């Protein structure tokens, strides 16, 4: 079985394109590990040949591969007019069995020595389909199916290609450290950054026994799902119980959440430097909760110098949920196990914290030693 994969944005990379394609091919091989597969590349297309018994694994891989705009199971025919038309008729019969009623033909002739140009291929193949598969009718503007013909070193014929994840191959933009809670937002943030080519490490802060072991297992499951798209995730678990207790006992109650977020960002920056990550990624969305106002976001990042990416900052909850459902994290995210950010949450939190006041309050906590110890005692899992 032959699959055709269409490259997307990386074809615009000019002189660097070869490096991007090398990473894409490496990622594809990793996702196909254990399957018998042959990968070949020609002019903006990848071709993957697998035996039928490995087709399901191959299709799972294509669904999780950043860097392709789409893919399709493809017929490979001789590069003659008759062979191409026969392949189009065969593809039309497949559509007929799927109860599809309307179609159109699209053609791309990369090999200019082929006797028919693109329009000639479309006209001849369309006429042949209408004569041999009368159940199908042509609809140029809104067809139920598209039969595509590509004339390259061979002829390739396929219908209704499946949309890919697009973006750039994971690993072409360095690594980032994702603050992974048990909620809906942070896995989506990691997914979106992976789509820009970034490898993902993750850090989770837990406060056992205030938070349950089930909450930690939930986060590990989220990291595992995310790792299916990001070529794996290294998850750092950091115990924040002593830090959270100090904040609860010593800080003004309306400030507890902001000060906790400041401590997390400081710990995240330290962890990122240790694991080779170049930035921090969070699932913050502007004004979604009290700690995510403009002023409070300024407070939470005031202790660090590392770049912070917030890919969800302008998105509403409905849009975030749609992506979570698409990538398979939503059902795990809504399991009823609270993370440590929910503990001791003030009923009336500070909404527009002042950075100078936040720094003064944080310094009074005297928790740098606690943060350092929590980082040194962290546990790391490869998922």
pLDDT tens sequence across 289-340: 989 999 999 999 999 999 999 999 999 999 999 999 999 999 999 998 766 5
pLDDT of residue 340: 57
pLDDT of residue 210: 75
- Locate 224 and state its tokens: 């595992």
Give the relative orientation of helices 256-275 and 355-365 as an angle to the nearest 10 degrees.
80
Four-way CATH pick for 2-163: 3.30.2130.30, 3.90.1300.10, 3.40.640.10, 3.60.40.10:
3.30.2130.30
Per CATH, 2-163 and 175-382 having the same topology is answered: no
For residue 47, the Cα-to-chain-centroid distance in whole angstroms is: 22
Which residues, given as ranges, of the chain have pLDDT below 50?
none
pLDDT of residue 126: 97
- The sign of the dihedral angle between the CA atoms of 320, 326, 331, 332 is negative
Residue appearing with tokens 């559509």: 95
pLDDT of residue 341: 59
For the chain, which residues make up each domain, given as ranges? 2-163, 175-382
* CA-based nearest residue to 149, from 94, 111, 205: 111
Residue 364 CB-half CA count within 13 A: 14
Residues 55-80 as b/e (b if ≥16 CB within 10 A, e otherwise) read eeebeebbebbbbbbbbbbbbbbebe
Q: In terms of DSSP bridges, do strands 175-179 and 199-206 run parallel, antiparallel, or are they unpaired?
A: parallel
- In whole angstroms, give the CA distance from residue 260 to residue 266: 10
pLDDT of residue 114: 96
Q: What is the mean pLDDT of the chain?
A: 94
Residue 284 CB-half CA count within 13 A: 23
Q: Note the helical H segments in 45-146.
A: 55-63, 81-97, 118-132
Contact 234, 202 (CB under 8 A): yes
* CA-based nearest residue to 62, from 172, 200, 165: 165
CATH 3.40.50.300 is right for the domain spanning 175-382 = no
- In whole angstroms, give the CA distance from residue 92 to residue 146: 10
* CA-based nearest residue to 183, from 313, 287, 292, 284: 284
pLDDT of residue 344: 64
pLDDT of residue 172: 96
- In whole angstroms, give the CA distance from residue 90 to residue 158: 10
Q: How many CB atoms lie within 10 A of CB 171?
A: 21
SS3 call for 285 = coil
Residues with Cβ within 8 Å of 283's Cβ and at least 6 positions away in sequence, in order, are 179, 181, 183, 185, 186, 187, 188, 189, 310, 312
């Amino acid at each position: 079985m032959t699959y055709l994969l269409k490259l997307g944005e990386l074809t615009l990379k000019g002189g660097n394109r070869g490096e991007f394609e090398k990473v894409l091919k490496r990622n594809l091989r990793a996702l196909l590990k254990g399957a018998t597969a042959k990968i070949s590349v020609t002019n903006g297309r990848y071709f993957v040949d697998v035996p039928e018994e490995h087709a399901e694994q191959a299709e799972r891989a294509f669904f999780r591969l950043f860097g392709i705009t789409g893919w399709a199971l493809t017929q490979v025919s001789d590069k003659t007019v008759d062979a191409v038309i026969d392949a189009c008729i065969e593809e039309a019969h497949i559509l007929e069995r799927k109860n599809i009623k309307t179609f159109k033909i699209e053609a791309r002739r990369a090999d200019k020595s082929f006797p028919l140009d693109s329009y000639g291929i479309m006209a001849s193949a369309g006429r042949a389909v209408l004569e041999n598969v009368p159940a199908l009718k042509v609809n140029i503007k809104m067809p139920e199916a598209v039969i595509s013909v590509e004339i390259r070193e061979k002829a390739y014929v396929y219908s209704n290609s499946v949309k890919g994840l697009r973006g750039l191959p994971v690993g072409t933009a360095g690594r980032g450290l994702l603050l992974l809670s048990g909620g809906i937002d942070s896995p989506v943030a990691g997914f979106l950054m992976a789509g820009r080519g970034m490898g993902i490490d993750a850090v989770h802060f837990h406060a056992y026994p205030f938070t349950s072991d089930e909450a930690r297992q939930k986060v590990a499951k989220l990291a595992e799902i995310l790792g299916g798209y990001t070529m794996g995730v290294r998850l750092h678990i950091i115990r924040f119980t002593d830090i959270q207790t100090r904040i609860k006992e010593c800080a003004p109650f309306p400030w507890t959440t902001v000060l906790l977020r400041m401590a997390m960002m400081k710990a995240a920056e330290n962890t990122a430097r240790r694991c080779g990550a170049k930035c921090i990624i969070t699932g913050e969305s502007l004004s979604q909760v009290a700690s995510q106002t403009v002023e409070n976001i300024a407070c939470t990042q005031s202790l660090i110098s590392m770049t912070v990416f917030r890919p969800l900052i302008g998105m509403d909850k409905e849009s975030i949920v749609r992506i979570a459902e698409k990538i398979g994290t939503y059902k795990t995210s809504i399991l009823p196990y609270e993370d440590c950010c929910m503990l001791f949450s003030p009923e009336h939190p500070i909404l527009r914290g002042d950075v100078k006041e936040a720094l003064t309050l944080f310094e009074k906590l005297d928790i740098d030693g606690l943060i350092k110890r929590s980082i040194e005692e962290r546990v790391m899992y490869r998922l």
